[in-house]
Chains A and B, each alone.
Chain A
Amino acid sequence: MAVDLYPTALIAVAITAAGIIGLKTKISSSIFEVGAGMVLANALGIGIIPWLDFLGTFGGLILTFLAGAEVEIALLKRQAKQSFGIGTMAFAAPLVGIVTVLTVFTDWSWQAKLAGGLALTTTSVAVVYAVLTEYELIKTPTAKTIIAVTFVNDILTLLGINFIQTSFDLVTVAFVVIMIALIPTVPILLRKVVRDFGRKAVEIELRFVLAILFAISFFADQASLHSVFGAFVLGLIFANTIQQHQEILSKMRTVTFSLLAPAFFIRAGMLIALPAIIANIILVFGLLGAKLLSKFIGVYWLCKKCIPEAPMFSTMLFSTGLTVGSITATLGRQLGYLSDIQFSIIIAAVILSAVVPTLIAKRFVPTNIINK
């Protein structure tokens, strides 16, 4: 089958333009990639071509894997008590809040409500990390607790997507057993691959990671779980080892940020029906408001107790969301839980949740602990 070069060229130009605008404005290019996708689909009538569909799916898997691989297991263990308490509430409260709002104001199916709710429960590790770094808080104990909570929140969201429609069987059990077996095996295997084949032009270590990623994603699918859940758990298993091999992470980032992540976000943008957002703009802002309010109700008092130096700042940071929210919404649409209109509404609310709480959080920076 010949590749249609007209949409291919337009998409390639859009990816480049989004990257340049991102660099110039110092805003992550993913936001502009979603915007470019919206323009391509809504204004130029470009559809999702097969290679973009594949790269977008690949991008979603690798982004999820990298999100898992970023989790600092040692930090999570050290901060277990506080992070699990706040993280669980940061996950559960918005889930209840969003599902309630959708139940009262829409006639969405319960799977759609759950998928939408899960997409809006997340906390963006990257957004939080950038704010903490910007205000020189990153090395403080406060920041460690906040980061650990965001990890717990994401883990629970990605675990939650398996419960939208449960049909676990023996293959699920086999999947769990194999994942447990991989925990001690992966570090040994990766070290061996790096030692025997590393630093060669053919990049065997990268091929090795990608092969396991696809195999586990496929296995997760067969086990009545979701491929992105498999990718995330694999990332968690790889986390400790791969963080010691920064050269592999660096190569993965190159592949991800040059091609796969743009494909994922452009495709997500192309799936957005702009008229649906305009027609449902009150619901979009209502969902954003519900996320902020339910996160506030769920975690503010806990933050006041556990992070007394920055309760409002922490609460607002826990209300951000972008990558895992977009991945969850995309998965919800792929599985048929969310219609195109519902997906458009949820993804718009997810993107707003990256921006609005961050801007509010910056008004509550705990300047008293900076430079301590």
Chain B
Amino acid sequence: MFEKILVAFDGSKPSEKALDAAIELAKKFGSVIHLVSVITLPDYAVLKNEVAEVQEEEGKFYQELQNKAIESRKGEVGIKSVIIYGHPTDRIVDYAKSQNFDLIVVGSRGLSTTKRFFLGSVSDKISHFSPCPILIVR
């Protein structure tokens, strides 16, 4: 039923919970998990190197987080590490479309109404534009 599962991962507790939930599902359905982190590049940057530096530093940061998360759950199911660039919602939805996922699993940060109004909720937005079913883990 769920051959390919996308887990949106930023190293936060909710995203760790999302990964755990995805692993449980993957065990049942024999799915492959893509652990996806999105690096947001600065819009309207001043220098090319400003962008390259964000790419490099945040790339290392997310790679380490992903490695730790995968290492601590080693052997349970197949997990592929993926890092992409851009605005989280757009890029996760684009990636899900391009790779034909069967399920997206995201953690909910439990934002307050005010924060949700100003910052927006990634899980909310993904649920609106997702090409496949989405599981929001609290």
Query: Residues on A close to B: CB < 8 A?
Result: 22, 26-31, 63, 66-67, 70, 124-127, 129-130, 133-136, 249-250, 253, 256-257, 261, 265, 322-323, 354-355, 358, 370-371
Contact B43 A323 (CB under 8 A): no
The smallest beta-carbon distance between A117 and chain B, in angstroms, is: 22
- Stretch from B26-34, B46-54, B125-133 at the A interface: B46-54
The smallest beta-carbon distance between B111 and chain A, in angstroms, is: 14
Contact count A vs B, C-beta below 8 Å? 82
Which chain A residue shows the least CB distance to B38?
Answer: A134
With most chain A CB atoms within 10 A of its CB, the pick from B41, B50, B98 is: B50
For B40, list chain A residues within 8 Å (CB): 26
CA A134 to CA B39, docked complex, whole Å? 9
Query: Residues on B close to A: CB < 8 A?
Result: 40-53, 55, 84-87, 91, 98
CA A167 to CA B87, docked complex, whole Å? 49
- A contact patch SS: helix
Contact A27 B51 (CB under 8 A): no
Q: A253-B53, A371-B98 are in contact. Are A134 and B41 (CB under 8 A)?
A: yes
For A30, list chain B residues within 8 Å (CB): 44-46
CA A370 to CA B98, docked complex, whole Å? 10
Contact A126 B43 (CB under 8 A): no
CA A130 to CA B41, docked complex, whole Å? 7
Give 10 closest A-B pairs by Cβ, nearest first: A126-B45, A134-B86, A26-B40, A354-B44, A129-B48, A28-B42, A28-B45, A130-B51, A27-B43, A28-B44
Which chain B residue shows the least CB distance to A351?
Answer: B44
The listed residue (A31, A125, A249, A257) touching B44 by CB distance below 8 A is A31
CA A355 to CA B45, docked complex, whole Å? 11
The smallest beta-carbon distance between B24 and chain A, in angstroms, is: 30
* 28 A-B contacts (beta carbon < 8 Å): A26-B40, A26-B42, A27-B42, A27-B43, A27-B44, A28-B42, A28-B44, A30-B44, A30-B45, A30-B46, A31-B44, A67-B47, A70-B47, A125-B48, A126-B51, A127-B44, A130-B43, A130-B45, A133-B51, A133-B55, A134-B41, A136-B85, A253-B49, A253-B53, A261-B46, A265-B46, A322-B44, A354-B44
